[in-house]
């Protein structure tokens, strides 16, 4: 990199620091998509994502989300507590940097899979910018610290307010009525996303509590079986055709992980949900392509080997082997590339081969080890193929 390009980058960073969060308040849509209900709910996901990151890093088990009676939100976790030490350059506490500097602390940097990069992944500072009040309480170093912000600006310095032997972070925010068209949270919307997060991150316990008058309730989302239970949940009102959910999880290196769960139902349609770093990749991408190729390959190989179809027969199509299938594909990677119209298409090319090889291996093993279930699934695929032939 040339010296003047470096200089430019340096200046750009400086400007961002100096500008603070005004740009976020000027163009909220650029940062959270909209100022309607979607954007409003997005604020909660941004804050929860930071706690989920702490859980994925292995430091936190419980996340509590509360809708308070005034439609303010509290997110509390039992992680290490946000860092409070002074930022070497800015000379203010790290937690204050996280909340008042755009992108800074957004994803802290360094190691682990982060719930980010998807639609927005903009961090706590954007939530602050769009909140009339935001308060953090941190338990760390045997102490309890507190700081408040408003509309992107620090309101009170970080102070010690007590002592505690526990660690964790608690964030309260109230979305700004000057920004959002509507301030009322939908329990169902939050429930749907938080349950999905719990399925995608097995073992973490997310509690959702509604304290609003007339709709008080609490639900706990905690799935030791992870996406295996997600498939069961998706199939709960459907007739499944074989007893076992096919499931596998493989970590390749410190940078790539794939987890797949699948089960066939008696339906004609397929339901394949794919995720990258907990973000629903509704436009699919390389993980989806790898999975689909492996599926077609494995069932055709198995069908030929076991004489379900003749050696030089045309074989089963992709649609034939997906008919009635419910599947969840979840990949985690350190540098996800999101592409497509809505940035919900995974682009990382290395993921395709990884998912394909893994699915080939585990699905083949499942069919070999479970011949009676293999037979049921194959029968359904063959029926789909015959119906397709007949229609032609």
Task: State the residues that interact with ligand 0RA by CB under 6 A.
Answer: 50-51, 54, 77, 79-83, 108-111, 169
What residues form DSSP beta bridges with 250?
258
Question: Between residues 83 and 315, which has the closer beta carbon with respect to ligand 0RA?
Answer: 83
Tell me the closest approach of the beta carbon of residue 299 to ligand 0RA, in angstroms: 42
| b/e map 239-277, b = 16+ CB within 10 Å | ebbbeebbbbbbeeeeebbbbbbbbbbebeebbbbbbbb
Question: Between residues 118 and 324, which has the closer beta carbon with respect to ligand 0RA?
Answer: 118
Tell me the closest approach of the beta carbon of residue 82 to ligand 0RA, in angstroms: 4
What residues form DSSP beta bridges with 154?
149
Tell me the closest approach of the beta carbon of residue 265 to ligand 0RA, in angstroms: 39
Tell me the closest approach of the beta carbon of residue 99 to ligand 0RA, in angstroms: 10
Collapsing DSSP to helix, strand or coil, 324 comes out as: coil
In the chain, what's the furthest Cα-to-Cα distance? 76
Tell me the closest approach of the beta carbon of residue 149 to ligand 0RA, in angstroms: 15
Tell me the closest approach of the beta carbon of residue 65 to ligand 0RA, in angstroms: 13
Residue that has been written with the tokens 């953090």 in this structure: 136
Question: Between residues 84 and 321, which has the closer beta carbon with respect to ligand 0RA?
Answer: 84
Beta strands in the chain (DSSP E): 62-67, 73-77, 131-140, 143-150, 153-163, 168-175, 205-210, 217-222, 246-251, 256-264, 271-276, 279-280, 325-333, 338-339, 345-346
Question: Between residues 168 and 324, which has the closer beta carbon with respect to ligand 0RA?
Answer: 168
Tell me the closest approach of the beta carbon of residue 110 to ligand 0RA, in angstroms: 5
| Residue 24 neighbours by CB under 8 Å, 6+ apart | 30, 31, 102, 125, 126, 129, 130, 152
Question: Between residues 115 and 303, which has the closer beta carbon with respect to ligand 0RA?
Answer: 115
What residues form DSSP beta bridges with 273?
328
Which tokens go with 390?
């007949």
Tell me the closest approach of the beta carbon of residue 207 to ligand 0RA, in angstroms: 15
Tell me the closest approach of the beta carbon of residue 66 to ligand 0RA, in angstroms: 15
Question: Between residues 83 and 117, which has the closer beta carbon with respect to ligand 0RA?
Answer: 83
| Residue 254 neighbours by CB under 8 Å, 6+ apart | 334
Question: Between residues 54 and 96, which has the closer beta carbon with respect to ligand 0RA?
Answer: 54
Question: Between residues 88 and 110, which has the closer beta carbon with respect to ligand 0RA?
Answer: 110
What is the spatial distance between Cα 289 and Cα 276, in angstroms, rounded to a whole number? 13
> What is the dihedral angle through the alpha carbons of 208, 209, 210, 215, rounded to the nearest 10 degrees?
100
Under 8 Å between Cβ of 249 and 257: yes
Question: Between residues 111 and 214, which has the closer beta carbon with respect to ligand 0RA?
Answer: 111
Collapsing DSSP to helix, strand or coil, 369 comes out as: helix
Nearest CA-CA partner of 317 in 385, 391, 386:
385
């Amino acid at each position: 990199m040339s010296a003047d390009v470096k200089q430019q980058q340096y200046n750009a960073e400086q400007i961002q620091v100096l500008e603070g969060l005004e740009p976020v308040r000027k163009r909220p849509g650029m940062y959270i998509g909209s100022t309607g209900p979607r954007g409003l709910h997005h604020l909660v996901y941004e804050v929860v994502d930071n706690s989920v990151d702490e859980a994925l890093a292995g430091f936190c088990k419980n996340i509590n989300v509360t809708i308070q009676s005034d439609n303010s939100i509290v997110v509390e976790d039992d992680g290490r507590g946000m860092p409070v030490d002074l930022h070497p350059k800015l000379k203010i506490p790290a937690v204050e940097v996280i909340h008042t500097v755009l992108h800074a602390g957004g994803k802290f940097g360094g190691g682990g899979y982060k719930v980010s990069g998807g639609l927005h992944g903009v961090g706590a500072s954007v939530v602050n910018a769009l909140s009339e009040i935001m308060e953090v309480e941190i338990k760390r170093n045997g102490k309890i610290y507190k700081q408040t912000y408003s509309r992107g600006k620090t309101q009170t310095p970080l102070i010690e307010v007590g002592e505690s032997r526990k660690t964790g972070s608690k964030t309260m925010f109230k979305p700004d009525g000057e920004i959002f068209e509507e301030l009322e949270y939908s329990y169902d919307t939050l429930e749907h996303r938080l349950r999905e997060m719990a399925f995608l991150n097995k073992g973490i316990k997310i509690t959702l509590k509604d304290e609003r008058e007339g709709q008080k309730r609490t639900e706990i989302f905690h799935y030791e079986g992870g996406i295996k239970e997600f498939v069961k949940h998706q199939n709960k009102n459907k007739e499944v055709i074989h007893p076992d959910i096919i499931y596998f999880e493989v970590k390749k290196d410190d940078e790539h992980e794939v987890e797949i769960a699948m089960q066939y139902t008696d339906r004609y349609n397929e339901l394949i949900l794919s995720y990258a770093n907990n973000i629903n990749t509704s436009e699919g991408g390389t993980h989806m392509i790898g999975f689909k190729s492996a599926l077609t390959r494995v069932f055709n190989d198995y069908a030929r080997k076991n004489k379900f179809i003749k050696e030089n027969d045309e074989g089963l199509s992709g649609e034939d082997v997906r008919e009635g299938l419910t599947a969840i594909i979840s990949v985690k990677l350190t540098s996800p590339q999101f592409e497509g119209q809505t940035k919900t298409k995974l682009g990382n090319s290395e993921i395709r081969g990884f998912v394909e090889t893994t699915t080939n291996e585990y699905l083949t093993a499942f069919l070999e080890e479970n011949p009676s279930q293999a037979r049921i699934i194959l029968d359904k695929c063959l029926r789909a193929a015959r119906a397709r032939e007949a229609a032609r």
